[in-house]
Amino acid sequence: MTEGQKPTSKIVVLISGSGSNLQSIINACEENNIDAQISAVISNKYNVKGLDRAAAANIPSIVIDHHAFETRQAFDQYLAEVISGFTPDLIILAGFMRILTEEFVNQFVGKLINIHPSLLPAYPGLNTHQRAIEAGDRTAGATVHFVTPELDGGPSILRAQVAVLENDTSDALAARVLTIEHQIYPTVAQWFCEGRIGMKDGIVFFDGVQIDKLGLLFTPQSEH
């Protein structure tokens, strides 16, 4: 994107907590590494650091407290209405700790992405780092994937690996994985905004070519 040129894509980011991945997206947009503008940050919790990050970047933020809704469906329906009001091209889940209903996901399928702190399909759900350590895995990592109704089951786009060290703790491993999350999530967001990636019938295409079901493998020297 050249100086003075307006971003071509609009992003909405959903958070529930500290928003470190949100910050990586904010930074990439500000540095013109993502050709997009974050239209809104939406949290299902009050008083989380991610809201402070949005405020610091002058990004509108909204809190939709899921406790205010009688059912998961009612929350998701209202959330979908709010998101649709921003007409986003891409919706990014950045530590959004809600399991979304099938109706919600299907409304935005193909432009809804998530990052998961494991090398999917290994260790969907929670406590991924401890599970990797207890299994004796030599590598761990993170995966950016399209969201489908199956929890952490959408097709992978990009993953990155770190070594599991001897006597590693889940906190130490989590910190190293988070560092690579902050690299691969903005990368995928830019690919999407450039029109380089897409999903059709549950299959991911990169530059028009079907990729491996495990996704592309990121390295710091990646030329993608």
pLDDT digit string, tens, across residues 172-196: 999 999 999 999 999 999 999 999 9
What's the average model confidence in pLDDT over 152-177?
96
Instruction: Please state, in angstroms and rounded to a whole number, the distance separating the CA atoms of residues 88 and 64.
Output: 18
- pLDDT the model gives residue 15: 98
Q: Which tokens in the block code for residue 64? A: 């939709």
- pLDDT the model gives residue 151: 85
Q: Which tokens in the block code for residue 140? A: 């761990």
Instruction: Please state, in angstroms and rounded to a whole number, the distance separating the CA atoms of residues 63 and 55.
Output: 13
> Of all residues in the chain, what percent are helix, strand and coil, respectively (each to 5)?
35, 25, 45
Domains 6-108 and 116-224 share a fold: yes
Q: Could you read off the pLDDT of 9-50 as tens digits, one per residue?
A: 999 999 999 999 999 999 999 999 999 999 999 999 999 999
> 3-class SS at 112?
strand
The CATH number, out of the four listed (2.60.40.10, 3.55.40.10, 3.40.50.170, 3.30.70.270), of the domain defined by the range 116-224: 3.40.50.170
- pLDDT the model gives residue 132: 97
Catalytic residues: 116
Instruction: Please state, in angstroms and rounded to a whole number, the distance separating the CA atoms of residues 48 and 96.
Output: 12
CATH homologous superfamily for 6-108?
A: Formyl transferase, N-terminal domain (3.40.50.170)
Q: Show contacts of 160-169: CB within 8 Å, 24+ apart.
A: 160/184, 160/217, 160/218, 160/219, 161/119, 161/217, 163/138, 163/139, 164/132, 164/133, 164/137, 164/138, 164/139, 164/140, 168/133, 169/133
Q: pTM of the predicted model, to two decimals?
A: 0.94
Edge-to-edge strands, sheet with 203-206: 197-200, 203-206, 209-210
What average pLDDT does the chain have?
Answer: 94
In the chain, where the domains are located: 6-108, 116-224
Q: Give, as one character, the DSSP assignment of residue 3.
A: T
